[in-house]
A and B are shown apart, each in its own frame.
Chain A
Amino acid sequence: MSAVVRRGTRLTAETLCFTFDGREYHGQVGDTAASALLASGVRTMGRSVKYRRLRGVLAAGPEEPNALFTVGSSPTVFPNVCAPQLELREGMVLRSQNRWPSLRYDVASLLQLGSGFLGAGFYYKTFIWPSWHRWEAPIRALAGLGEAPGACELPTVAVEHFSCDVLVAGAGAAGLAAARAAARAGARVVLCEREPVCGGELEFESGTIEGRPALAWIDATLAELATLSARVLTGTALVGETGGEFIALYEPGGLPGANAVYKIRPRAFVIAMGATERPIAFINNDLPGVMLLGAAERFLSRYGVNAGRELVLFANHDRVYAAATRLVVAGMRVRAIVDTRDATGLGPQAARQRTALAGTGTDCLLGHAVIRVTGRGQVRRAVIAPLASPAAAHSIACDTLLVSGGWGPSTHAGMHEGGVTRYEEALGAFVSTEQPDGRENAGAANGLLELSQALADGAGAGTRAARRAGADGDPGTAPLGSGDGAPRLVPFWRSPADRAGEKHQFIDYQNDVNVADLRAALAEGFVDIEHVKRYTALGFGTDQGRMGGLLGAAILAELRGEPLRDVGTSRLRPPYHPVTMQSLAGLRVGARLRPMRRTPLHEWHVAHGGVLEPMDLWMRTRYYRENGPGAYEAGIAEAQRVRTSGGIIDGSTLGKIEVAGPDSGPFLDALYLNKASTIKVGRSKYMVNLREDGMVLDDGIVLRIAEDRFIATTSSGHGAHMLAHFEHYRDTQWSGCGVTVTDVTEAWAVIVVAGPQSRTVLREVLSAQWRQPLDALTHMAFARGTLAGQDLTVLRASFSGELAFELHCRPSISEPLWESLIAAGFKPYGLEALDILRVEKGYLVSSELNGQTTPFDLSMDDLVKHGNHCIGRELLDRPAFHEPTRPRLVGVRAVDGRMAFYGGAQLTTPDQPHRACGYVTSSVYSPTLSEWVGLALVSRAHADGAVLDCRDPVRIGDCKVRLTSIIHYDPSGERMKS
């Protein structure tokens, strides 16, 4: 436990407690998990996925590949949380990953002995005998990263869509300069920064800007941006973009799971997301104690944590000397600086710093490289050799090795939608050149690592962005500043090693991909970087190749003997960092997953024991609780009551389309198989739509309201499709003609009053003016009038086979009308009962109108014969539609009246038990006939009266059925037409 109160730009003096792997530790408010543990002397923070090698923290940002913790306790656990990003809170519970039973003693680390069998792509080549499945279970148990959370309550996300003139991603030197210039020019600026504070490298790089220390300049700039109404979003990372819309997630405290999701459409976009430092590959470069140079600087300046006591620095650029100077001032001892360049590589500032460091006892080597580090579980010694003669090595005792191989511009935000990059030898990195629609990189993201250049570049990009967005004010002068000098980098990717050593030169820490794996991939014939990536899993982890992607590409290029610019890097895709499903779901969670459509009578059904179920987007009543313990019993009771006296059902979901205009008759003729234009005003007709290939699409009733006005009803399920179908036809073949199409589904509530008593009850409920029209109403005719001042249409039509009336009324009077029908003695029935009634009468629903049946299959030959030229007519006259093997719609009943059969059961003949000659489309228990009845589609070879086997091995077993006419009850239709 550290008793010293550390000072850092992110810390306060207040302390807190947390646990890691069951032990209690102390930290300060502002600490991250990584900084507090480092301060407490903890260096091992996890094990690698495959070989279970001990690992420590390598980086100080979201690109950290090793120190991933599980936060919290089941079920609310957050796996794979990046330790350097996770802000500690009092009582936080942390666990390391990829180890069992403990971090120190991990059973699976014995796998390292079998590492020869576990190279890249091992699952294609090994563990095949006797059967992969025997090995699969234990291998899967070892694989994977972290523990998935259980069912837990997560906070709902706030989503915000907004536009702005200029979006600047990244609030480092270049980003702040860009935002300031754009805002001064009058643009609406949004600046987003993934860290909780702005500044980027300025946080530790000792720079001065416009005569002030960098940190003071940052504060002044942010204050100015506030006065210019710029919006600064900290703790907000840009994760991706599609089609000009940028997604940024506000994840405070480094815990995954956004609190807010921003969807931003800027007119212009500046990418100032900096550059990511990369390591160099040498033997055992994954030992705890090996850290990136910039990470050590950040741990020092932000959290007051010393990365180690005896340091060795290994780099290929000038910045290492500036860094070493700062580390020495903080009290760390730099034993050696290993610079791969020769003396001519150094700039004057670096040369001065080097001389000063040498004077204080640091061994400053040029043209050398660290060949390997050794130590049990952490760095103890560094083995260093001259590049000219790698055999002449010597070793130094140390506890920390800080490595830096250079920086790779974070260009991803420009690359997600396609952009072009170019390899810059002076950077040893790819810099983006072409970007879609004028967006630009600025600063380190543009390959400019010097502070003065970054500021100028940022100001220029911000100004150009403001101009593109139409703001032409004065951006002011670009800020002048100076900090660390130019890096003068000479690319260096890996230290010399023999074949055995290459196995421990790690490139991708998260997937344990080493140089030997790259060599193996090449030997297997995987040459392209995209293939190598997928074969070796290079770049697959949570860091998405930020540590090892470029390193891997460079080493691959070396192994291929080609320049790096020809090898390239693999394609970048969003999201930039791991995003939780919760963030993507946004508001569509729980009850808000999908919309729910309600009929005007919905509240009544709910209040009166209706059991509702979703049908597409509608909630429809299946049955009413008072009629039975479940759907089966209640449906039977409700159906029986309709046949004996009557009932009412809410049919408001019925699709209704109003077609109006002088050409509406001919228009409908073209959409239906049978003619609409011959319907008389005041009458309706059962009509069938064909699909363009001749199959039956839908059916419904069309009412002729007036000479130039019809209402076409569709089935509830096909409503949306039929509306689009009508609209499409009107806007293509009938554009400019005198016909309009309007969806009126919700303008009319529909109450079906069915049963022998229906006319009596209606006469009682409707006002006196309706008596005569009701009595005079013949089958398929309708009468229009008003009720309580609102429009009402009474249509005499039946889907139950009983005397029935469809009341189409305005929603505002639907509930009073419904209640008056209840008061008059009718009770409601639901879809379950409706299905029973319609199957008894052989009426069709989507089970029969399934898109695979022709009008001939459905015995609609008459409609075809008298039909007109319509959509689908041409393809109706096909020989294939008249083949003897085409199905025919028939009724079915069990030979033994007590047997049940279900829809979906297959029908076979005894001599061909393995080939279905048909199947049952619908089946119900009929209370009227006291047996199960159904409808089926059966090959024409079988006539009415034939007995077939009804096969249902999975559900209720087999029985014998007889084919009958499709109308099981009241075949002459007397009850309906009474």
Chain B
Amino acid sequence: MKGVEQVRHRGLGLVERQTGRVLEFVAFHFPSEGAFVVGWPAAPGAIRHDVQGLSGLLHFAPARWLAPSPCREIAALVAAAEDAATGTCIDVTGKWREFALIGTAAARVLASTLNTEIVLEGRECAAVTLFDCPCVLARVGDGYRIWVRASFAEDFVNAIESLCLPG
């Protein structure tokens, strides 16, 4: 796993971020209004940010939440939900690799493969396929946070590196 900068040129940065434990919480029942505590991201595409402002809990699929490198607070939230028999917590460490896509060209890079405006309309995160790689995409500040399925990650980086964008 690389924790270094992968692609940097012409207003674009693609940086892989180290992840620790990664959890997926899967609920037994949905839609789930009322089943969870206050602050749980219940709406489709909602994100609960942690105290540092990072994406803590992402609702990227029906009844499924991604908790990448959860801080203590998020981990406790998820454990409590499991104890309450609302669902199960699956340790999927290794399944997702996290990237930050930043820079003025970041939006144009994504536009090469999908219409981000439509996909992120009314939501903070979405399960998408970018350059034929399954991903979870979140808009973060001026850039994006992308969780790529691990076996596709090399291919994802190669796709962005080989993009020939108009100058």
Contacts and interface: CB of A to CB of B under 8 A. Distances in A.
Touching chains A and B, CB distance < 8 Å? yes
Nearest to A809: B94
A738 to B, nearest CB: 5
A594 to B, nearest CB: 7
Contacts of B164: 155-156, 158
Interface in A655-695: 658, 660-662
A747 B95 contact: yes
Contact of A740 (B28, B151, B163): B28
A480 interface: no
B81 to A, nearest CB: 12
B117 A791 contact: no
A812 B164 CA distance: 32
B94 A597 contact: no
A746 B112 contact: no
B113 A595 contact: no
Contact of A587 (B108, B131, B154): B131
A737 B115 contact: no
Interface string A435-468: 0000000000000000000000000000000000
A810 interface: yes
A703 interface: no
A744 B95 contact: yes
A81 interface: no
Contacts of A163: 115, 117-118
A161 B95 contact: no
Interface string B121-163: 0000000000111000000000000000111101100110011
A263 B152 CA distance: 25
B26 A740 contact: yes
Interface stretch (B36-44, B48-56, B71-79, B84-92): B84-92
B4 interface: no
Contact of B87 (A588, A709, A740): A740
Contacts of B1: 811-812
A657 to B, nearest CB: 10
Given A594-B132, A746-B149, A749-B94, A160 B108 contact: yes
Contact of A161 (B26, B114, B159, B162): B114
A873 interface: no
A265 B94 contact: no
B118 A265 contact: yes
Nearest to B25: A740
B95 A592 contact: no
B133 to A, nearest CB: 6
Contact of A661 (B28, B116, B163): B28
B110 to A, nearest CB: 9
B111 A160 contact: yes
A329 interface: no
Interface string A618-647: 100000000000000000000000000000
Given A158-B112, A160-B111, A163-B117, A746 B131 contact: no
A159 B94 contact: no
Nearest to B90: A742
A747 B151 CA distance: 10
A738 B84 CA distance: 12
Interface string A145-176: 00000000001101111110000000000000
B24 interface: yes
A594 B113 CA distance: 14
B154 A161 contact: no
A923 interface: no
A591 interface: yes
Contacts of A595: 131-133, 152, 155
A791 B95 CA distance: 14
A746 B28 contact: no
Contacts of B133: 595
B93 interface: yes
Interface in B8-58: 24, 26-29
Q: Which of B85, B150, B158 counts the most A-chain CB atoms under 10 A from its CB? A: B150
Interface centre among A591, A736, A746 (most CB of B within 10 A): A746
B90 A740 contact: yes
Contact of B88 (A592, A602, A660, A747): A660
A736 B28 contact: yes
* Contact-residue size bin, chain A (C-beta under 8 Å from the other chain): 35 or more
Nearest to B159: A592
Residue from the set B64, B88, B162 with the largest chain A CB neighbour count within 10 Å: B88
Contacts of B154: 596, 598, 602
Contact of A600 (B117, B132, B150): B150
A902 to B, nearest CB: 32
B156 to A, nearest CB: 8
A204 interface: no
Given A161-B111, A598-B151, A740-B28, A747 B117 contact: no
B115 A159 contact: no
A798 to B, nearest CB: 25
Contacts of B63: 740
Nearest to B108: A160
A747 B91 contact: yes
Contacts of B27: 740
B96 to A, nearest CB: 8
Contacts of A162: 111, 115, 117
Interface in A568-610: 587-588, 591-592, 594-600, 602
Contacts of A739: 28
A597 B112 contact: no
Given A592-B162, A594-B132, A742 B92 contact: yes
B94 A658 contact: no
B28 A737 contact: yes
A812 B159 CA distance: 23
Interface string A49-71: 00000000000000000000000
B158 A591 contact: yes
Most buried by A among B94, B116, B133, B159: B94
B117 A746 contact: no
Contacts of B95: 743-747
Contacts of B152: 595, 597
A599 B24 CA distance: 21
A900 interface: no
B32 to A, nearest CB: 12
Given A160-B112, A587-B131, A736-B29, A618 B151 contact: yes
A588 B129 CA distance: 14
A746 B151 contact: yes
A748 interface: yes
Contacts of A737: 28
Contacts of A749: 94
A260 interface: yes
B136 to A, nearest CB: 14
A592 B155 CA distance: 9
Nearest to A662: B85
Nearest to A810: B94
Nearest to A664: B88
Given A661-B88, A736-B28, A746-B94, A597 B151 contact: yes
B166 A260 contact: yes
A445 B85 CA distance: 63
Contacts of A746: 94-95, 149-151
Contact of A599 (B87, B114, B151, B158): B151
A812 B166 CA distance: 37
A147 to B, nearest CB: 28
A961 to B, nearest CB: 40
Contacts of A618: 151
Given A162-B115, A163-B117, A746-B149, 8 more contacts: A161-B116, A598-B154, A598-B155, A599-B151, A600-B150, A660-B90, A744-B90, A811-B1
Interface of A: 155-156, 158-163, 260, 263, 265, 587-588, 591-592, 594-600, 602, 618, 658, 660-662, 708-709, 736-749, 790-791, 810-812
14 contacts: A161-B114, A161-B116, A163-B115, A163-B118, A595-B131, A660-B88, A660-B90, A736-B28, A738-B28, A738-B85, A740-B90, A742-B92, A790-B93, A811-B1
